Structure 1
Amino acid sequence: MTVAAKTKRNIFLVWLLLVPAGLWFTYQTYPPHISGKWLDIAAFLILTSVVAFMPMVINNTPIFLIQWVSLATFLSFGIFVEMIFAQAAVIVLLLRLRLQKEQLFRLPLNLIMFFLVSLVSGVVYYALGGQTGPTIINNLHSLALAAVYAVVNYFLNQVIISFYLYFIYKSKESYFGKDFIVETVTTFMTLPLGFVLYMFYNFQGLLALFIVAVPFASLSIIFKLYYSSQKINEYLQKAAEIGHQMAERLEVDGVIDLFMQKLSEMLPVDYAYIFDVISDDELQLVRRIQCGTGITTESAKIKKNQGISGFVWDKKKGYLYHSKKDWKPFTKGYLPSDAESVLAVPIVRNKKVIGVLMLASKQKRAYERSQLMIVDILCSYFAVAIDNAKHYEITKTQSERCALTKLYNYRYFEKLLTEEFDKLFQFQRKVLSLIILDIDHFKEVNDTYGHQSGNEILCELAARLSNLVGSRGTVARYGGEEFVVLLPEADKKEAYHLAEMIRQSIANWPFTLQQSLELTQQQVKITASIGVATAPEDAEDPLALVRHADRALYVGAKRAGRNRVAEYSSC
């Protein structure tokens, strides 16, 4: 949630106009009676600071359980002292949370809230007849007034928080969610501690602070451990789900995209980098993500044990840096200047590092040790998914491509032709043209120069066809010395024009043989005959289109003298 710069300035202005004057007004109206109690006040201030320094973080939201100490402080020393302590508690809490520069407005914002809560609940208490230092044992009236103070304090706090969320943070989420329920329950569970602390303090003095504070500290630690374990369980469940989703992806790019997307959703990621091991001592940057957007970058290379990624590769273990000063001496310069927290993990497959993942955030202390463990697990899933995707792509290529020319093979061409005719029948295509090409007298080339030289010609011809056709269509090796070009949305005139360009590029530029029978480099001139047919003008099904283009090739081009282009004609 972002807050406009003008709103932030107004918050600082409101604090400047309201809080200092309000504290002075409170001191004049309800002056504290603290003569001779300076040691007690110091002890309460220390307790307040300790409690503020130990918030429970639930769903990334700190739960601030300071109300019970505030209640005991208010009853013991009055509204002014409680107000000062509340202000101090806010400062301690926000220092503990390590606010970034753009979040500094939260300090005056929370100081305003706690000032208003302290002022209104204290004034209500005094207006109902309450006094500082009341006897609440066997005095139901005083106990009821103290309870009213606590309830007003809590609910006014929630009202102001909801106001902040809706009107300052512009949040659309429901306020009465899980966090609200947990905070309400824990607050009213700990409020009795405030009454106990106050009563013990009246009887035992400062010893009461230790008697009550130790159980609270234990409770805070228990809650923290519980929610930390719950958070880790949630991360593990998400990691398992992401692992299954990556396993379903069959392309390497698809696996990488899903991996980076899920990491960005699960963790505060402003920058992400994936390095691939390309040799025994060198990494190469293969993917960079900045603020959720993939960026085409230069192929930066990192030596082993250089920079953060090289260091992680060398040590074969993950590392976590909480701020720029921790990693700045080791970086190779590819991290942006506003990055703070860094999490780097090796990508390991079969006990061998095959890459390095590095995540960075603009916030300090954005990542926790448990998240390092989760990312390490995800990298294991990622390594397996990448390996499977690479094997699938290799197998797919081998099944679809000609091993010699690297063009698509007959099987792939047949499948594509059927798909294109389906689009034609569904009116997703208006026209579909096919070019079939056959090298003239290719047997003589093999007999004269050898089959290896014939293979060289086939490979060079495949390259010329691919360059000429480009993205306009699909080139495939049909078999032997025959090639086909499938041209979606190209009419017969356009197909004929392209076929003529192909014919001329073959006839006018010799082919270079590196491994001929003469053992010297030679230039060989060849020609090709080409047939063209178009659907639905010439054919109503895939087999008919191939048959008619083939007929144009042999009847219209080969029989007419070769080295020419012929269109199919039904006449």
Structure 2
Amino acid sequence: MNYTHKAKRIMAIMWLVCVPLGTVLVYLKSPTHLTNWEHYGYFLLLALLSSIFPFFIAGSTIILVLWVNMAIFLKFGLLAEIISMQLCMFPLVYHMKINRQTLYKYFFNSFMFFGLSLLCGSLVMALGYEIGNLNLKDVVIYGSIYAISYILLNHIILYIREYVCGFNPVLLTKDFYWEVSCLLMTLPFGLSLYLFESSIGTTALWLLGIPLISITLLIRMYSNSEKVNADLNKASEFGHQLAERMTGKEILDMFLERLANMFPIDCGYIVDNVDDQFFILRAMEDGVNKEIQCSHEDIKYSLAGKVYEKGVPVLYKKQSEWNYMMPPFLADDMQSLMCVPIYRNQRIEGVLILAAREKYAFEPYQLKIVHLLCSYFAVSLEKARYVKEAVEKSEICELTKIHNYRYLDKQLELDMKKIEEGKYHSVSLIMIDIDKFKVVNDTYGHHSGNLILQEFARIISQEIGSSGTVARYGGEEFVILLPNYSKLQAFSIAEQLRRKVEQTPFIVQLDLDDVSREEIIFITASIGVASAPEDSEEGMGLLRNADRALYVGAKQAGRNRVAEYVK
């Protein structure tokens, strides 16, 4: 959640006004002042140990320190518990990875825990509890009230904060249920710790504290492994999704976006190297794709160039570790950084850079996962390249080297769709048929016929250029698609093509005689023209109408002419 600067200032002011002064007032007004410093030191040590080892369950961070602080309150009073909780904030600051930009988190949490200690302790004492009371019934009742009210008020305060800051908070979150579950587990330990310590001394702290901290460490190890397994499962799913993408653009679009969902990154860059020249292939900053231009030299002598040269992934936890080789495209406020080489066919092709504004944002195991994902990424790009080449090959006529009917059918559908969307005002189609081509084959042989088809395709492609799509329709028939050309303009182009073909000498080889020799012949072509949407609003209808104009208006009228479709 992103809090405004005003909200962050208010959190700092609340802490400054309430916590120092409030602690002094509690010292002056508290019914019990701290006297047994040695015993309190043992309790405080146990509380600090409990706060040092948080663990994660289903995405919730759990810190088992309340059971010790409850025992501290029951034995030493409100002031001792406040001091303990505030000191436990320092391990929390480390685990929360607080820096200058996120210092407001410390102020708010310190203020909140001070308020919780004050409210819960005052409530229990108002209900009649006396500090140091060893009556079993009173200890169980008042200790339970203290712990339960602490959990409830904690989430109520968090709910109020989110509501005031304009978010959409939920009171009973999964964090609440997990904290209640952990409270049910640790409450007996806290009550027993207070009673046993009063009976047998500080030995009780070790008898109860060491087993519970050991259990906490085991849960932490298990939860960490579960988190790693969860991230590996996400990486595996991510890899499959990359493999399903058929184009390089789809893979590039997906890669950085999904990495941002998996890891706490604020920006990501894919640095490519082609012909020993570095450039930014793709960049994403705060979830938005960016176009970034950087010189080859600037990238080469930065961290990106060094990782490319060494071929080893690196992880930095704060900017001071890498700012002397800062890439020129990285913002000055970035702290944590991962830089991973991208291998393809055992050769480094580029470098991936992921950065975050928070210090210690990345874990070492995450670097390994990103390295694995870079392998998926490179393999997927390679596969997409092969797929693209295969598709292009399947859409090219092997003989004439122009598009075939498969491509024509797809392109015609796309062009007609653009008319529907208003992107094109018209699409004209020219169908061309070589006159008396069977006679050519019978007279000069099929090899000569193939030479004529090749040269014919070259002439059409050269004349049309990038203005339209040229494809072999089948046999000696060819089709030209001209987007945004009227029928009159298409008719004019068709007439130019007809004259060009008529005037062009074609060289054939006479393989049917005993002696092979070359000969120059001239051919003609008949052409039909139709346009959408005036002649048809469907692609196949447009083809049929051009074909009808070709045979009725050109072939039957004597060949070597252009005819337009007439309804």
Name the CA distance, whole Å, in 2 between partners of 1:300 and 1:422.
41
Name the CA distance, whole Å, in 1 between partners of 2:223 and 2:351.
30
1:194-252 per-residue CA deviation (whole Å, 9 max, x = no partner) reads 22332343344444434433223212211211111111222222222222222221111
1:46 partner amino acid: L
Name the CA distance, whole Å, in 2 between partners of 1:421 and 1:305.
47
Larger deviation: 149-158 or 359-368?
A: 149-158
User: Partner residue of 2:508?
Assistant: none
User: Partner residue of 1:151?
Assistant: 148
User: Partner residue of 1:133?
Assistant: 132
What are the within-5 Å matches in structure 2 for residues 420-459 of structure 1?
Answer: 432-435=427-430
Counterpart contact for 2:27–2:79, Cα < 8 Å = yes
What are the within-5 Å matches in structure 2 for residues 399-418 of structure 1?
Answer: 399-401=394-396, 408-417=403-412
1:25-57 per-residue CA deviation (whole Å, 9 max, x = no partner) reads 32222154333x233334433333332232223
1:146 partner amino acid: G
Name the CA distance, whole Å, in 2 between partners of 1:200 and 1:159.
33
State the identity %. 34
User: Partner residue of 1:229?
Assistant: 225
- Alpha-carbon deviation of 1:264? 1.6
Name the CA distance, whole Å, in 2 between partners of 1:330 and 1:436.
61
1:308 partner amino acid: L
- Alpha-carbon deviation of 1:478? 6.2
Name the CA distance, whole Å, in 1 between partners of 2:85 and 2:109.
10
What are the within-5 Å matches in structure 2 for residues 318-329 of structure 1?
Answer: 318-329=313-324
- Alpha-carbon deviation of 1:503? 7.0
User: Partner residue of 2:390?
Assistant: 395
Counterpart contact for 1:434–1:484, Cα < 8 Å = yes
- Alpha-carbon deviation of 1:360? 1.4
User: Partner residue of 2:193?
Assistant: 197
1:148 partner amino acid: I
User: Partner residue of 2:77?
Assistant: 78
User: Partner residue of 1:339?
Assistant: 334
Counterpart contact for 1:56–1:220, Cα < 8 Å = yes
User: Partner residue of 1:98?
Assistant: 97
Counterpart contact for 1:275–1:356, Cα < 8 Å = yes
Change (3 A) 1:287 1:121: same
User: Partner residue of 2:29?
Assistant: 29
User: Partner residue of 1:533?
Assistant: 530
SS at match of 1:387: helix
Change (3 A) 1:323 1:399: same
- Alpha-carbon deviation of 1:390? 0.7
Change (3 A) 1:550 1:299: farther
The number of aligned residues is 529
SS at match of 1:329: helix
Choose which of 177, 184, 187 in structure 2 pairs with 1:181: 177
Change (3 A) 1:74 1:424: closer
User: Partner residue of 1:55?
Assistant: 54
Change (3 A) 1:169 1:554: same
User: Partner residue of 1:298?
Assistant: 293
Change (3 A) 1:53 1:419: closer
Name the CA distance, whole Å, in 2 between partners of 1:196 and 1:479.
91
Larger deviation: 193-202 or 236-245?
A: 193-202
User: Partner residue of 1:167?
Assistant: 164
Name the CA distance, whole Å, in 1 between partners of 2:331 and 2:236.
31
1:74 partner amino acid: F
1:383 partner amino acid: A
Counterpart contact for 1:45–1:85, Cα < 8 Å = yes
1:376-419 per-residue CA deviation (whole Å, 9 max, x = no partner) reads 22223222222211101011112224679975344422453467
- Alpha-carbon deviation of 1:254? 1.0
Counterpart contact for 2:429–2:479, Cα < 8 Å = yes
User: Partner residue of 1:514?
Assistant: none
Name the CA distance, whole Å, in 1 between partners of 2:179 and 2:145.
19
User: Partner residue of 1:244?
Assistant: 240
1:73-94 per-residue CA deviation (whole Å, 9 max, x = no partner) reads 1122211121122222224412
Change (3 A) 1:68 1:498: farther
User: Partner residue of 2:9?
Assistant: 9
Change (3 A) 1:426 1:255: closer
Counterpart contact for 1:285–1:300, Cα < 8 Å = no
Name the CA distance, whole Å, in 2 between partners of 1:8 and 1:85.
25
Structure 2 length-normalised TM: 0.79
Cα RMSD (Å): 4.2
- Alpha-carbon deviation of 1:436? 5.2
Counterpart contact for 1:404–1:459, Cα < 8 Å = no
Structure 1 length-normalised TM: 0.79
- Alpha-carbon deviation of 1:116? 1.8
Name the CA distance, whole Å, in 2 between partners of 1:72 and 1:301.
63
Name the CA distance, whole Å, in 2 between partners of 1:335 and 1:414.
46
- Alpha-carbon deviation of 1:479? 8.4
Choose which of 354, 377, 384 in structure 2 pairs with 1:382: 377
User: Partner residue of 1:361?
Assistant: 356
SS at match of 1:105: helix
Change (3 A) 1:403 1:295: farther
- Alpha-carbon deviation of 1:429? 8.7
SS at match of 1:372: helix
1:476-520 per-residue CA deviation (whole Å, 9 max, x = no partner) reads 4668998743135643235446768x879x99xxxxxxxxxxxxx
Counterpart contact for 1:268–1:361, Cα < 8 Å = yes
Counterpart contact for 1:438–1:528, Cα < 8 Å = yes
User: Partner residue of 2:367?
Assistant: 372
